[in-house]
C-alpha cells in the first residue's frame, strides 16, 4: 500500500484535471507559505509616508497601502499565517470529529445521544456568529481563532464519522475482526475509522476553504488577527474603504489570494477522497 502511494497519487491526479489544478494551486500556496518571507521584496511592516497608496508599478507590483507598505510583500508573508490557521483548525476539527463521531457511532447509547445533542446545539447557531462569540469571549489571539474555526466545523466531521461508523458496526468484516482477536478499540481504530476516511476527506477539502474564509472574516471585522500583522482578511478590510476613492489595489490583491486559495482547496475535493479510498484503485 505504501509502495504504491505515490503511483496512486499520480493516477488520481492524472485522471482528474480539476484535482490536478487544485493540487497545483494548493502546492503553490504551500510553497509560498514556506518561502514567502524570503521572496518578499520589501519588509512587510516597513512604513513610508512618501510611498503612501502608490498604484501597482514595476517597483511595487501590487502597489502600496495607506502607510506605504509594499502590498506584494504583505500578501506573500500573510500566506503562512492564513494557511496555518486554516490547516490547524481543519486538522483539529477533523481529529476531534473523528474521535467524537466514531465513539458515538460505535458505542451508541448515551454517548451517541450526548454527542448528537452537542452537534445539534452547535449547528443551531449561524456558524460565523458562533465563531465571533467564541473569539469575543476567549480573546483576540491566533490560538482562539483556530479553536473558534475548529469548533464551528466540528459537527460536520462528527456527523460524517458517526454515520460512516454506524452503518458498518454490524458488517461482516467487523465480526471477522473480532474473530481475529480485535477488542472494541481495535475494531474501531483498525477497521471502522479507516473506512470513514474517504467521505471525511471530501469534508476536509471543503472545510479548508471555509476555514481560511472564516479566519479572514474574523480579522475583517476586527475580531481576528490584529493589525499591523499581515493577514489577508485585515488587508481586505483596510483596503475596502479605499476602493471608493479609486485605490482598488489595496483590497484586490489580498482578496484575490484569498479567493484563489479557497478555489484551490475546493478543487482538491474528490481527489483527496480517491487518494485514501483503495476501491478507486484499479
Partner 1 sequence: MLQVAGLGKRFALGHGATLHALADVGFNVQPGEALGIVGESGCGKTTLSRIIARLADASDGSVQFDGTNIAAIPAARFARDPRRSAIQLVFQDATDSLNPRFTAAQAIAEPLRRLRGLRGAALAARVAECAALTGLPGELLSRYPHQLSGGQKARVGIARAIAPEPRLLVLDEPTSALDVSVQAVVLQLLAELRTRLGLTYLFVSHDLNVVRLLCDRVMVMYLGRIAEIGRANAVFDHPAHPYTRALAAAIPTGEAQRNRALPEGEPMSPVNPDPHTCRFASRCAQAMPRCREAYPPLLPGSAAPGHLAACHLLAPTG
* Helical axes 17-39 vs 5-15, angle rounded to 10°: 110
Assign 3-class secondary structure to 179-200.
Answer: HCCCCHHHHHHHHHHHHHHHHH
Which residue, 117 or 178, has its beta carbon nearer to partner 1?
A: 178
Residues that bind partner 1 (CB under 8 A): 1, 171-173, 175-184, 186, 191, 194-195, 278-279, 281-282
CB of 99 to partner 1, least distance (A): 19
Q: What's the min distance (Å) between Cβ of 174 and partner 1?
A: 9
CA distance 269 to 275: 10
Q: How far is the CB of 204 from partner 1 (least distance, A)?
A: 18
Place of cell 479572514: 216
Minimal distance, residue 273 CB to partner 1, in Å: 13
Q: 44 or 198, CB closer to partner 1? A: 198
For 225: left if phi > 0, alpha if psi spans -120 to 50, otherwise beta; the answer is: beta
| Choice between 139 and 183, CB closer to partner 1 | 183
Q: Which is nearer to partner 1, 17 or 278 (CB)?
A: 278
Closest CA relative to residue 249, chosen from 263, 231, 236? 236
Burial class (CB in 10 A: 0-12, 13-18, 19+), 17: exposed
Shortest distance (Å) from residue 115 CB to partner 1: 21
Of the pair 4, 141, the CB lying nearest partner 1 is at 4
Amino acid at each position: 500500500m505504501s509502495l504504491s502511494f505515490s503511483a496512486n497519487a499520480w493516477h488520481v491526479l492524472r485522471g482528474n484535471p480539476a484535482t490536478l489544478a487544485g493540487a497545483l494551486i494548493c502546492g503553490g500556496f504551500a510553497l509560498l507559505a514556506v518561502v514567502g518571507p524570503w521572496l518578499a521584496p520589501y519588509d512587510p511592516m516597513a512604513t513610508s509616508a512618501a510611498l503612501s497608496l502608490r498604484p501597482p508599478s514595476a517597483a511595487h507590483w501590487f502597489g502600496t497601502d495607506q502607510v506605504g507598505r509594499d502590498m506584494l510583500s504583505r500578501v506573500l508573508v500573510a500566506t503562512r499565517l492564513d494557511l496555518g490557521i486554516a490547516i490547524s483548525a481543519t486538522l483539529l476539527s477533523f481529529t476531534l470529529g473523528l474521535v467524537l463521531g466514531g465513539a458515538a457511532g460505535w458505542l451508541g447509547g448515551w454517548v451517541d445521544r450526548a454527542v448528537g445533542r452537542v452537534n445539534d446545539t452547535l449547528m443551531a447557531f449561524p456558524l460565523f456568529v458562533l465563531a465571533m462569540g467564541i473569539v469575543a469571549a476567549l480573546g483576540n489571539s491566533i490560538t482562539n481563532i483556530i479553536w473558534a474555526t475548529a469548533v464551528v466545523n466540528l459537527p460536520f466531521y462528527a456527523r460524517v464519522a458517526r454515520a460512516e461508523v454506524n452503518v458498518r458496526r454490524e458488517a461482516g468484516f467487523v465480526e471477522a475482526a473480532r474473530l481475529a482477536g480485535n477488542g472494541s478499540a481495535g475494531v474501531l481504530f483498525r477497521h471502522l475509522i479507516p473506512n470513514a476516511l474517504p467521505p471525511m476527506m471530501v469534508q476536509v477539502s471543503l472545510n479548508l476553504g471555509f476555514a481560511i474564509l472564516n479566519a479572514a472574516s474574523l480579522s475583517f471585522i476586527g475580531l481576528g488577527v490584529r493589525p499591523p500583522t499581515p493577514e489577508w482578511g485585515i488587508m481586505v478590510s483596510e483596503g475596502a474603504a479605499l476602493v471608493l476613492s479609486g485605490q482598488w489595489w489595496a483590497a484586490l490583491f489580498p482578496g484575490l489570494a484569498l479567493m484563489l486559495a479557497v478555489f484551490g482547496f475546493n478543487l482538491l475535493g474528490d481527489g483527496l477522497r480517491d487518494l485514501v479510498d483503495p476501491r478507486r484503485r484499479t
